[in-house]
Amino acid sequence: MKILAINAGSSSLKFTLIELPEEKVLASGLFEKIGMAGSFYTIKYQGEKHVFEKELKDHSYAVDALMQGLIDLKIINSLDEIDGVGHRIVHGGQKFTESVILNDEVLEEISAYNELAPLHNPANIMGVKAFMKALPRVIQVGVFDTAFHTTMKEREFLYAVPYEWYQDLGVRKYGFHGTSHRFVNKEICEKLGRDDLKVISCHIGNGASITAIDGGKVVDTSMGFTPLAGLMMGTRSGDIDASLIPYVMNKLNLTCEEVVNDLNKKSGLLGISGVSSDSRDVEDAIKEGNERAILAQDMYAQRVANYIAMYNNLLGGADVITLTAGLGENSIMMREAIINKISSLGVKLDPSKNDFRGEFRCITTDDSKIPVWVVPTNEELMIALDTLNLSKK
């Protein structure tokens, strides 16, 4: 079966065409500047990158261009070869605890959470509607970033604020990156031959979150009501004192929205280093002795280490720690910095095992109390697998 995994943004659309059950990527690509001047798209197929400039007025135009591109490049011979489309949906609130088949009624229910993810959910829904129009007889499936975290108990997901805020406004921790954490947990459980593992899953990249998992169920996660909470990230601040917001508003004559925008887009590695939100640029600056870059990396690693220690306690002792996403999979320097900061847990890095990028392997010594594994994530495959499974029901 051929399944399309889709991640639609407000002005972009990312796709991967996967053959199942072989789990073979047939093609992938990205449509950019949708609804803007200078729109274009890229399709990668058989090791070649094809770039096209085309006016993409909205997501329907992008989907039509994708369908035509798949045929013109002979990736498929007919649209009938597409057996399902799986869509990343950022927010499913408390209602959507697993992936679902999408129809107009379900989309209406999802739109109720638009206010909680205004930059993502409306765009995700636009993408779904565009594919419904282009492929009316093909199953459409929604896979939610928040769904994996719905096993958290009130003790973990509630904030210590007036309880009515939760009852009336839905104020609570939701968590994100759930599809990635679910995939990584599945992979490490299969690798170690156990389904009862206590896992501390670290998705660390430009966006970052850590999740405590016990026997396949989430106990707690670092992101909160929005993806701004938790760890320091590429441009996000992570946890702060909420009183900081009105203080900065008054001192700099900014609106609440402007301060929150700065916390989301001008903070994190970028804000501290003054160099970049890209860890590769920060690492280059570290090698040149840039003190703010050194500080930024140290802060990032320490916050990851702090959450690992907290979740190890919450789980009553973890069986394994996993590192994934851009930094977790590829930054030798950051992995070393993090593991050195959790030595009190009996975790011991093996430098010779850590000298690689993008592979599935253990990087700790044989006598490390908690093994640390690098597990490349694959959210697109997880979306495709969910789509395949629902198509069989």
DSSP structural state of residue 275: S
Q: Which own/partner pairs from 19-22 qualify as long-range (CB within 8 Å, at least 24 positions apart)?
A: 20/384, 20/385, 20/388, 21/388
Phi-psi sector, 216: left (phi>0), alpha (psi -120 to 50), beta:
left
Under DSSP, the state recorded for 364 is: B
- What is the C-alpha to C-alpha distance for residues 137 and 385, in angstroms, rounded to an integer? 19
DSSP secondary structure string for all residues of 136-165: TTSEEEEEETTGGGGG--HHHH--SS-HHH
For residue 73, how many C-alpha atoms fall within 13 Å in the half-sphere facing its CB?
A: 22
| 196: annotated active-site residue | no
The answer to whether the CB of 139 falls within 8 A of the CB of 84 is yes
Tell how strand 217-221 and strand 2-8 pair up: unpaired
Task: Report whether 192 contacts 320 (CB < 8 A).
Answer: yes
Provide the 8-state DSSP code for 319. Answer: S
Beta strand 198-204 pairing with 320-324: parallel
CA-CA-CA-CA torsion for 317, 322, 327, 329, nearest 10 degrees?
A: 160
> d(Cα 18, Cα 385) in Å, to the nearest integer?
9
Give the Å distances, CA to CA, from 159 to 84, 208, 222. Answer: 39, 20, 13
**Beta strand segments in the chain, E:** 2-8, 13-19, 24-32, 40-45, 48-53, 82-89, 100-101, 139-144, 198-204, 208-214, 217-221, 320-324, 361-362, 372-374
Amino acid at 62: A
Which one from 80, 145, 195, 367 is the annotated catalytic residue?
145
- Amino acid 336 reads E
As annotated, the active-site residues are 145
